[in-house]
């Protein structure tokens, strides 16, 4: 997979809004909330142009009953794909990845981790810019190596997630 990061595109929010409506209709009443996560949800930073949707559901097992519906939306069904308790789907258009759907049980630690990271980055633009610069550097260093790119971000993301979860928890009590 070619690694390409591009400047923030304000149209990504509209693409999220459009896709979330289709996903919500497909998954039905099990859906509690759909969130825009990942770098495309953070203003002013570079990102791989893939829209990440985080879906909270009441019952994760019921998601499997909607695999055909997700396939009808052109998603590839990936199962847990490395994270226990998750359902993951990915979509491509003409060989280019366009969307990821991450589904977790409502209020799971994974939901909190993703939302805390996103909200922390939005509230702390200086850290968001450090992340953006790291992504640009890694995309140049690993233009055809998604594993190298992801591994290069791992330490920074883990550090920011720790800060984000502390910030997220404190913010809720203030």
Structural domains of the chain, ranges and CATH numbers in brackets: 11-173 (3.30.460.10)
C-alpha dist (Å) from residue 14 to 10, 19, 28, 33, 93: 8, 9, 21, 17, 17
DSSP secondary structure string for all residues of the chain: -----B---THHHHHHHHHHHHHHHHHGGGEEEEEEESGGGSTTS-B-S-EEEEEEES-HHHHGGGHHHHHHTTEEE-TTTTSTT-EEEEEEETTEEEEEEEEEETT-HHHHHHHHHHHHHHH-HHHHHHHHHHHHHHHHH-TT-HHHHHHHHHHHHHHHHHHHHHHHHHHHH-
Model confidence pLDDT, tens digit, residues 7-26: 999 999 999 999 999 999 99
Give residue 171's pLDDT: 66
Model confidence pLDDT, tens digit, residues 70-108: 999 999 999 999 999 999 999 999 889 999 999 999 999
Model confidence pLDDT, tens digit, residues 120-135: 999 999 999 999 999 9
Return the CA Rg of the chain: 16
pTM given for the model: 0.94
């Amino acid at each position: 997979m070619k690694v390409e990061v591009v400047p923030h595109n304000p149209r990504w929010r509209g693409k999220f809004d459009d896709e979330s409506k289709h996903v919500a209709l497909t998954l039905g009443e099990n859906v509690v909330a759909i969130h825009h996560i990942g770098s495309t949800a953070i203003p002013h930073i570079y990102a791989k142009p893939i829209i990440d949707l985080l879906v909270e559901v009441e019952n994760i097992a019921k998601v499997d009953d909607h695999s055909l519906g997700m396939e009808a939306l052109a998603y590839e069904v990936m199962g847990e794909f490395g994270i226990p308790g998750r359902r993951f789907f990915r979509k491509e258009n003409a060989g280019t990845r366009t969307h990821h759907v991450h589904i977790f049980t409502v209020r799971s630690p994974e939901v909190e981790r993703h939302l805390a990271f996103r909200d922390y980055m939005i509230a702390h633009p200086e850290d968001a810019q450090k992340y953006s610069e790291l992504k640009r550097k890694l995309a140049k260093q690993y233009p055809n190596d998604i594993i190298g790119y992801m591994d290069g971000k791992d330490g920074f993301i883990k550090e920011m997630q720790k800060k984000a979860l502390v910030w997220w928890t404190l913010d809720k009590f203030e």
